[in-house]
């Protein structure tokens, strides 16, 4: 018997480990729910809810293939090796198959499993699935990992021009069915699993199923990719794919995205227009941060990518942090972004940058607190991308510019939300203001009566304070 362990890869199509398992023989599937470990990793309720909803769909899809899904609850990962060993003993498993997951805790969990099962003559096969290119294979001339995106991307382009990664087929229906007797096959609801209500359900905003994810991808490629480079920075416009949610729990694979991106070019690496190229680059940013997480494991231990930034004197100010977390900073674009995330689990990329730079530069609050808040609320929360994005914004990470990047959030707002419509959607207290005043309501009239706070910092002074703090590095 082969055992396929589903993790952040809840799909049947283009699933490397599943395909290999089913090629080797009769396969049973396993998923492990670890609420206490997820809490330690700050996984958002909305993300867990979304995961469980897709798991129900996956279970039904697996049944069509005569593959049973065992659902184990193991609160902490340290107990996973023993739990899997029991399943293996009961089902007489020869090999456990799984796709590699990144992060030091994930890698340790899998190492411990391999160590235990080896003693019982059971193999653990781990596959590269989440990235386009196997980890530890994108190297510079000195055989070292890249530290900046530009050079990493160039290497990826060279590899893609040789051949595009292709997709694995969905496994065929198994001939024999079998009975699982001693393990649960029921996917619990969020409430049953977590022992409390979810304060934010994913059901209304985020549909599950692989078919839905593929439809979103196809729709983006057909109707939005050509205008991606012009629309992608405007948070009120529907200019991006919104696929991060699906990529992160693996309802969709990165190879499916690449194949769709070059479908019109018959699967050849040929870039026809700017939208296509810029979207490819975004997928490569995702790739870059995953390779960074693997090659520089300190970033998954709350440490900065740039060691010298450890010296930074962050300000401890729980009142300011709380105002930022709740979208009450008095800077409309920042508050709009945070409130979008709190209501929907998602925030537009341009606004993620604005709010992250505001916290780490204007408020000079430790980026790790912002990173944590994002993880606790994002439906697409992903250690590699979130950490990479936060460290880039805080200038502790891979940003290659030779200065410390600080945005003026008001200018960003005027540029990327010119009519103020994004702010109007998420900060209804300001909905009646015109396009000129909405970005900085008290600028022209400090006595204006609004049910909205005044800016919590002076943007010019806080910018200078940040420059001073970073200068000392």
Ligand X SMILES: Cc1cc2nc3c(=O)[nH]c(=O)nc-3n(C[C@H](O)[C@H](O)[C@H](O)COP(=O)(O)OP(=O)(O)OC[C@H]3O[C@@H](n4cnc5c(N)ncnc54)[C@H](O)[C@@H]3O)c2cc1C
d(CA 440, CA 443): 6
Total residues contacting ligand X by CB under 6 A comes to 28
Contact 165, 132 (CB under 8 A): yes
Which of 27, 386 has the CB closer to ligand X? 386
Q: Which of 71, 353, 427, 459 binds ligand X (CB under 6 A)?
A: 353
Q: How far is the CB of 103 from ligand X (least distance, A)?
A: 13
* Nearest CA-CA partner of 235 in 433, 7, 423: 423
Give yes or no for residue 248 binding ligand X (CB under 6 A): yes
Q: Which of 2, 37, 131, 240 binds ligand X (CB under 6 A)?
A: 240
Which of 160, 356 has the CB closer to ligand X? 356
Q: Which of 9, 49, 110, 380 binds ligand X (CB under 6 A)?
A: 380
Give yes or no for residue 207 binding ligand X (CB under 6 A): no
Phi-psi region of 234 (alpha: psi -120 to 50; beta: other; left: phi over 0): beta
Residue 79 DSSP label:
G
Q: Which of 345, 389, 397, 409 binds ligand X (CB under 6 A)?
A: 389
d(CA 409, CA 365): 16
Give yes or no for residue 244 binding ligand X (CB under 6 A): yes
CA of residue 16 relative to chain centroid, distance: 20
Give yes or no for residue 373 binding ligand X (CB under 6 A): no
For residue 3, list its beta bridge partners. 28, 96
Between residue 270 and residue 309, which ones bind ligand X under the rule CB under 6 A?
A: 282-283, 285-286, 289
Helix, strand or coil, per DSSP, at residue 78: helix
Q: Which of 8, 26, 349, 408 binds ligand X (CB under 6 A)?
A: 349
Q: Which of 65, 70, 243, 359 binds ligand X (CB under 6 A)?
A: 243
d(CA 76, CA 143): 37
* Nearest CA-CA partner of 425 in 244, 219, 240, 234: 234
Distances from the Cα of 185 to the Cα of 31, 73, 363, angstroms: 10, 11, 48
Show Cβ contacts of residue 421 under 8 Å, excluding neighbours closer than 6 positions. Answer: 236
Catalytically active residues, by annotation: 282, 285, 314, 349, 367, 390
Q: Which of 44, 356, 430, 456 binds ligand X (CB under 6 A)?
A: 356
Please give the residue whose beta carbon sits closest to ligand X in the complex.
Answer: 389
- How many other C-beta atoms are found inside a 10 Å radius of the C-beta of residue 285? 18
Which of 6, 285 has the CB closer to ligand X? 285
Q: How far is the CB of 260 from ligand X (least distance, A)?
A: 12
Give yes or no for residue 38 binding ligand X (CB under 6 A): no
Scanning 94-102, 267-275, 348-356, 406-414 for contacts with ligand X by CB under 6 A, the matching segment is: 348-356
The number of residues making up the chain comes to: 473
Q: Which of 382, 399, 417, 440 binds ligand X (CB under 6 A)?
A: 382
Distances from the Cα of 186 to the Cα of 8, 91, 180, 256, 373, angstroms: 19, 18, 12, 29, 31
Scanning 3-11, 17-25, 183-191, 236-244 for contacts with ligand X by CB under 6 A, the matching segment is: 236-244
Which of 253, 462 has the CB closer to ligand X? 253
Name the strand (E) or helix (H) holding 225: none
Q: How far is the CB of 321 from ligand X (least distance, A)?
A: 16
Residue 72 backbone dihedrals phi, psi, to 5 degrees:
-105, 145
Binding site for ligand X (CB under 6 A): 232, 240-244, 247-248, 282-283, 285-286, 289, 349, 352-353, 356, 374, 378, 380-382, 385-386, 388-390, 393
């Amino acid at each position: 018997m082969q055992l396929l362990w589903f993790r952040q890869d809840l799909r049947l199509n283009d699933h490397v480990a599943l395909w290999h398992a089913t090629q080797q023989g009769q396969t049973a599937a396993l998923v492990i729910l670890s609420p206490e470990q997820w809490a330690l990793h700050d996984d958002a309720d909305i993300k867990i809810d979304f995961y469980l909803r897709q798991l129900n769909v996956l279970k039904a899809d697996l049944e069509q293939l005569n593959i049973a899904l065992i659902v184990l609850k193991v609160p902490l990962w340290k107990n996973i090796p023993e739990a899997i060993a029991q399943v293996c003993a009961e089902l007489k498993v020869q090999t456990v198959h799984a796709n590699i997951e990144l992060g030091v805790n994930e890698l340790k969990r899998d190492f411990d499993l391999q160590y235990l099962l080896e003693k019982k003559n059971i193999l653990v096969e781990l596959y590269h699935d989440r990235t386009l290119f196997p980890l530890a294979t994108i190297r510079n001339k000195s055989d070292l990992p890249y530290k900046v995106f530009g050079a990493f991307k160039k290497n990826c382009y060279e590899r893609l021009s040789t051949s595009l990664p292709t997709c694995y087929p969905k496994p065929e229906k198994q001939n024999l069915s079998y009975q699982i007797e001693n393990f649960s096959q029921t996917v619990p609801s969020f409430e049953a699993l977590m022992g409390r209500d979810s304060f934010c359900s994913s059901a209304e905003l985020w549909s599950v199923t692989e078919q839905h994810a593929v439809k979103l991808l196809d729709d983006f490629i057909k109707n939005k990719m050509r205008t991606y480079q012009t629309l992608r920075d405007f948070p009120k416009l529907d200019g991006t794919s919104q696929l991060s949610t699906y990529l992160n729990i693996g309802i969709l694979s990165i190879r499916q995205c690449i194949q769709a991106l070059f479908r019109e070019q018959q699967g050849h690496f040929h870039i026809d227009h700017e939208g296509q190229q810029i979207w490819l680059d975004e997928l490569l940013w995702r790739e870059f941060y995953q390779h960074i997480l693997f090659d520089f494991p300190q970033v998954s231990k709350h440490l900065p990518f740039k060691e010298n930034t450890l010296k930074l004197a962050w300000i401890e100010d729980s009142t300011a942090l709380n105002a930022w977390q709740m979208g009450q900073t008095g800077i409309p674009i920042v508050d709009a972004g945070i409130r979008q995330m709190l209501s929907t689990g998602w925030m537009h990329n341009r606004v993620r940058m604005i709010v992250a730079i505001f916290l780490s530069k204007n408020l000079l609050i430790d980026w790790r607190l912002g990173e944590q808040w994002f993880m606790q609320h994002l439906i697409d929360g992903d250690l590699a991308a979130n950490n990479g994005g936060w460290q880039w914004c805080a200038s502790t990470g891979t940003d290659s510019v030779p200065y410390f990047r600080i945005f003026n959030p008001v200018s960003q707002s005027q540029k990327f939300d010119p009519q103020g419509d994004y702010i109007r959607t998420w900060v209804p207290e300001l909905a009646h203001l015109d396009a000129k005043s909405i970005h900085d309501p008290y600028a022209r009239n400090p006595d204006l009566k609004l049910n909205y706070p005044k800016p919590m910092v002076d943007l010019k002074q806080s910018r200078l304070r940040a420059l001073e703090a970073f200068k000392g590095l």
